[in-house]
Each structure stands twice: as structure tokens, then as C-alpha cells.
Amino acid sequence: MTSRLRSISPVEEDRLYFRQLLSGRDFAGGDMMARQMVNFVYLIGDRETGEAVVVDPAYDPEGIVALAEADGMRLTGVLATHYHPDHVGGSMMQFSITGVAELLELVSVPVHVQADEARYVAMTTGLEDDDLCLHSSGDVLSVGAVDIEMIHTPGHTPGSQCFLTNGRLVAGDTLFLEGCGRTDLPGSDPAAMYESLTQRLARVPDTATLYPGHLYSPQPSASMGETRSTNYVFMPRSAEQWLAMFGG
């Protein structure tokens, strides 16, 4: 499995394997933290080749691997949207969350991160440098015939990234259906978040479907067009207005 900068091409919908899984419901059902945090985990792959990658496998790596295997899919990689423990595992609010490190004990696969996020992922998870595959914005990861473009979207964290594949944007904590990721945390940057939302994600068409990192809205997904027209983070018309509202 390799990454390279090139234009992304779609595959037939019946060949694309795409699952949105909710923590505390679809996996980690007995984990109170998983139920409270309502994280989404995503499985993306090629049904024909049986290859798949998992996005942000926290709380229950064994259960997530089992779900993929039950679908006849073999995990070949991990994609990390950012380094926070509820997405990749680690310690948070005096709770220990299992995640990528424990998943690698089950399957030996590379962990794909933005270069700006690598040291934070390593510190949070305890992974070694050799476990991480570093990327730049625009890199394309091929999983069978399925191409996944990595879009660097700093703001919530320095190396936050979104994944665009077959008209679907997996956005982590960069963008929710209602609101966006917090910009008052260590490493956050309100100005960078404004640029990510209005410039870096501008190439994502309104017809694409947004899949967020948490269930913070009644619906689990929505079109980018609907999100841009209803989400209050798109109301400001300038960086100055945005920072006045969200700059803290």
C-alpha cells in the first residue's frame, strides 16, 4: 500500500466498502466513556480485493477488527485524523483508552498520519517512529482500487487531516454537521481552522457527504452543501469576523 500525489479517481459504488461505526453502540458497548464520547470509526476499502483501512480505531480495537473480518475484509492500514486519545487511544481525563497501539498487536499495519501530527501521535499512543507513515496534504492512499486523498486541515490540532474518497469526506474533528472542533486546546489555532474550513476544504464539492468524527447532531452525516448553508461556523464572511466569534 503506497501513497502518492495524483488526481483521485472514483470506483464503482458496489465495489467501495464504507462503514460508519458509532462507539458505545456498534463496538465498545459496555464502555461508558465510549458511549459518552460518541466517536465515529470508519472502515474504508475495496470489496473486490478485500483490503480495508480503519479511521481512528479507539476504545475497542479487537471489536473493530472483528467487524471488518466479519465483512470479509482484511485491515491493511490505520488512518489517524489527529492525535487526541478518543481517536487513537491513550490517557484522557484520567481514563486509559485503548486504540492504535493495541490494534497493532492484532494486525501489523502502518499508521498514516500528517507529518505535523507525527510526534503528538507517538507521544499519545507510545508508538515508535517506524510504526508511522508520514504524509503531506494531497497524498493519495490506494486501498485496492479505492483512492483516499489526505487533506491537511490544521486548527483543532496542528496535523489534523480529513479523508476524501468517492464523494465522502471523513472529517474527524475538523468539521461537524453542527460546529467544528475546539480551537482553545493546546496546539489549536483559530486562524488556521478558519483557513482549513474556508480554503483547504473549498475543493470538496457541495455534493460530497460529510462524515464527522463524533455524533454531535441528530443525523450522522449530511451533504457539504447543506452543512455550508446551515452550520454556524460558515456564517462569518471574513477571517476577522470568524476570529471575533471563535477566536476566544
**Model pTM score:** 0.94
For residue 4, the model assigns a pLDDT of 41
As a whole number, mean pLDDT of residues 216-233 equals 97
What is the per-residue pLDDT across 80-91, written as a single tens digit (0 to 9) for each?
999 999 999 998
Q: Domains, the chain, ranges and CATH?
A: 11-246 (3.60.15.10)
Q: Which of 15, 74, 66 is nearest to 50 (CA)?
A: 74
For residue 157, the model assigns a pLDDT of 97
For residue 38, the model assigns a pLDDT of 98
Q: How far apart are CA 155 and CA 152, in angstroms?
A: 10
Q: Which of 132, 37, 41, 22 is nearest to 92 (CA)?
A: 37
The C-alpha cell at 103 is 490494534
What is the per-residue pLDDT across 167-188, written as a single tens digit (0 to 9) for each?
999 999 999 999 999 999 989 9
Q: Which of 66, 69, 65 is nearest to 54 (CA)?
A: 65
Where b means 16+ CB within 10 Å and e means fewer, 211-246 reads bbbbbebeeebbbbeebbeebebeebeeeeebbeeb
